Structure 1
């Protein structure tokens, strides 16, 4: 990969490959042992990113759209706001359209993504798919625990 590629070009290349279902194209945007932390499916490293795209994204959805806004890079970290949507192929949500808004956070190394994670308003998309309140609650609980791990475990209640 061209190490002079801008973050904007890199993140556009990665997201458009994901939209097409091109797992190898997405993986090529990452360092050899790069990590993709997906808010729904978990962590995928290196060539396992191909399975994330082909075995999960495009198993559970179709007609993807991933629009990026205001990508910026500073000190080897790239940020981009996005709106991501797809039509579900899950039996319980067949053809319902999910829409999510978030911010991608990419740690960069030599023109590739070393680590991708996102902060996303994912509950709205799951609600649009018709997920039950109990299932949404489990998702929110999991996300809260992950946030506390990243923040070192401090909570307002513990101070």
Structure 2
């Protein structure tokens, strides 16, 4: 597996709203754990995440993966991610955040995709009220706490 090329295809599939292409990078039973929307299991659900969920409230996605590292079992990459929000309070603004992708590999495909990201800056960019940001960040913290095995990636 060429990690750099595979991650480029991953990002490109999201940017062009091609859930089927992104899902093809996963095993049949692969799971995409999205920081906002939760877990999507199986290729059909992963394609739905991209084609429907991502584009429900946003458009014009830009995603770049940086400095991938893999041992053949796990693939790590830093990323920058941005999008133009369709939410009313965002007033057409662009949100950006940085994170780390943590991908479990099986036979050259993604078995699981996880991410850890600082999304608070994106919510400030989107003009979310401080109370709303606090709720979202608390929810993300609780999700991470519920998966203590993810702490080893921090």
TM-score by length of 2: 0.91
Report whether the alignment pairs 1:54 with 2:42: no
Report whether the alignment pairs 1:31 with 2:4: no
Give per-residue Cα distances to partners, 1:112-153, cap 9 Å, x unaligned.
10000101011111111111111111111112212222227x
For residues 95 and 74 of structure 1, what CA distance do their matches in structure 2 show? 41
Larger Rg: 1
Give per-residue Cα distances to partners, 1:29-78, cap 9 Å, x unaligned.
11001000001111111110111111111221111111111011114100
2:68 corresponds in structure 1 to 71
For residues 101 and 41 of structure 2, what CA distance do their matches in structure 1 show? 17
Runs of 5+ consecutive residues of structure 1 not aligned to the other structure: 153-159
Structure 1 consecutive aligned stretches of length 4 or more whose deviation exceeds 2 Å = none
- Once structures 1 and 2 are overlaid, which stretch shifts more, 88-97 or 72-81? 88-97
For residues 90 and 53 of structure 2, what CA distance do their matches in structure 1 show? 15
Report whether the alignment pairs 1:40 with 2:36: yes
What do you get for the CA RMSD once the two structures are aligned? 1.5
For residues 53 and 108 of structure 2, what CA distance do their matches in structure 1 show? 26
Q: Is the 8 A contact 1:26 1:50 kept in 2?
A: yes
Q: Is the 8 A contact 2:90 2:125 kept in 1?
A: no
Q: Is the 8 A contact 1:77 1:107 kept in 2?
A: yes
Deviation (angstroms), 1:94: 3.4
For residues 22 and 148 of structure 1, what CA distance do their matches in structure 2 show? 32
Report the secondary structure of 1:72's partner residue: strand
Report whether the alignment pairs 1:126 with 2:126: no
Report whether the alignment pairs 1:22 with 2:47: no
Q: Is the 8 A contact 2:123 2:133 kept in 1?
A: yes
1:7 corresponds in structure 2 to 3
For residues 59 and 94 of structure 1, what CA distance do their matches in structure 2 show? 15
Runs of 5+ consecutive residues of structure 2 not aligned to the other structure: 150-154
Q: Is the 8 A contact 2:103 2:112 kept in 1?
A: yes
User: Number of aligned pairs?
Assistant: 149
